Amino acid sequence: MNKRLSWDEYFMGLALMAAKRSADPSTQVGCVIVKNDNSIASLGYNGFPRNTKNGDFNWIGKGEWINTKYPYVVHAEMNALLSAKGIDLTNCKVYVTLAPCNECAKAMVQAGIKEVVYYNDKHKDMDVFRAGKIILKKAGIACKPYQMKNIEVKIKL
């Protein structure tokens, strides 16, 4: 008998699927913004700015900052927030595959997000990610790790 997915499982699964659209070879990140009625407001994944061409930037993560991916990548959360285009995101919930950085946290606060659920916290010791959690906490936004369930979802494409 198939178990029906909970909303948390469903939306985190969608965030994990959205992450698969990213071309980043080391850190694919996906994000889903969900309204109170459990409808999807927006989705995003990390990638380079719209209207840039393949090869304009590279996915290198080490070296001189200006020559790495970091000044150019648009994070999944930011892509989801910007893709919402006029949808009121007040009190929405964010499901994201990586804990948010300080810049994404600030944008979520300004958008009125009420809760953030993240799947992975692999950069928890980096200042920009620590600051992200501090910003959310001071703004009264719940930020918590996704509670893994004993469920496996297989999608055959």
Catalytic residue IDs? 77
Residue 44: partners with Cβ closer than 8 Å, 6 or more residues away = 18, 30, 31, 76, 77, 78, 79, 80, 81, 82, 83
Q: At what angle do helices 76-83 and 102-111 cross, to 10 degrees?
A: 20
Q: At 123, which amino acid appears? A: H
User: How far apart are the C-alpha atoms of 87 and 103, rounded to whole Å?
Assistant: 20
Reference 100, options 74, 77, 79; nearest CA is 77
